[in-house]
Amino acid sequence: MRRLLPRRDRLTAVVAATAFAVLPAATPAHADAIRAQQWGLEAMHTEEAWQTTKGRGITVAVLDTGVDDQHPDLAGSVLPGRDLIGFGAGRGDEHWARHGTAMAGIIAAHGHGPGRESGVLGIAPEAKILPVRVILEGKDKARDRARKSRGTALAEGIRWAADQGADVINLSLGDDSESAHPEPGEDAAVQYALAKGSVVVASAGNGGEKGDRVSYPAAYPGVIAVTAVDRFGTHASFSTRRWYATVSAPGDDVVIADPDRKYYQGWGTSAAAAFVSGAVALVRSAHPGLTPAQIKKLLRDTARDAPEGGRDDSYGYGFVDPAAAIAAGRSLRPADLAAAAAGWDKRYFGNGPDPEGGGDDASALLAPAAGGLGILTLAAAVVLWRGGRTSRSARDRGDHGTYA
């Protein structure tokens, strides 16, 4: 079994995960109960990375369902954004900005209260979030309408974020349905963003138990595609295994903030992509002159726990390590930005899919696109409020709010 944490820390993490304090997180006395469950912070060596930077000066565009800029853990860190949907649930509604707020929190939450000891911390707590609403929550009644009438929102959002100077573009969403296939407009938008200097990060997909179908935008050239692991470094069974996997990151039992001011545990490759987006923010803050291609290579070269052979479709090149990437980046000089836009020049972007991966490859995905806007890839599992936790089977049923 692959392991990321020393044995003593693993045991501590397991206890925290099975015995929640689940009390109102706004109460300072309970802050440790929430923070102790943020196992991803320790696993990603954030304390070491924070000795250099906490992301100051970096803007991360979150293309999602919107972000609650009034959440106490994000207040003051969310820039004016853009809504490319224009309808659906609004502030105060149950199905407004939940997924997007969760992702923004993983990336750049700064906590709240005295000494900011309450709430959650993001990987890059001094970075800014640029929200771009390109998709609706799965339970939003207007979801079908948006899929039919706003199919180009993702491509438009990527271009708009790049034009605003976003250093990182987080795409914790994807389409891995049977009809998924590369959309020229989205591919072109990704290449446009890369050429403008924006690093593009996307979730690999949650199809690991459903055929490992190719997910877009993760499979577009130049994208940093992220798979999910649990607190022990084991590949999460739901995480898609495909040739485009770049690195892995925490994606199971992840603490997430919500507009309802409660905190939940969630799982999904969207959370993993948000962790890596925060890691990229740290690297960009430390080395602002590096190109997207250089940063992608840095993450690959410095990843921990590399699989046998150096790479596979479950873990990519290994577990992301922003502290190691920051250290290695000191020896690099900025490269040619134009080289970042790769285009469709070959079938596979890694060693090709694992033999046991299953699923259709990109050349077989010829059916019409399923609405263009894709699906979200995070499921909220447990509210850290009332006590108890659910089994994975309950999570799969969406008993506690499924986003996908």
Of residues 32, 35, 37, 30, the one with CA closest to residue 16: 37
Amino acid residing at 338: A
Amino acid at 236: A
Contact 17, 390 (CB under 8 A): no
Spot the catalytic one: 45, 64, 181, 277.
Answer: 64
Which of 270, 277, 285, 314 is labelled catalytic? 270
Task: Give the distance from CA 160 to its chain's centroid.
Answer: 19
CB atoms closer than 10 angstroms to residue 397: 12
Tokens of 229: 């692991």
User: CB count, 10 Å around CB of 336?
Assistant: 9
Instruction: For residue 191, give every residue at least 6 positions away whose Cβ sits within 8 Å of its Cβ, in sequence order, or none.
Output: 220, 221, 222, 341, 342, 343
Nearest to 296 by CA among 175, 215, 401, 202: 202
Query: Which of 45, 99, 112, 287 is an active site residue?
Result: 99
Whole-number Å distance between alpha carbons of 121 and 106: 7
- 341-370 in b/e form (b: 16+ CB < 10 A) is bbeeeeeebbeebeeebebeebeebeeebb
Pairwise CA distance, residues 296 & 257, whole Å: 28
Instruction: Take residue 159 and report the two structure tokens written for it.
Output: 């271009």
**287 tagged catalytic:** no
**Residue 73 bears catalytic tag:** no
99 belongs to the catalytic site: yes
Which active-site residues does the annotation give? 64, 99, 270
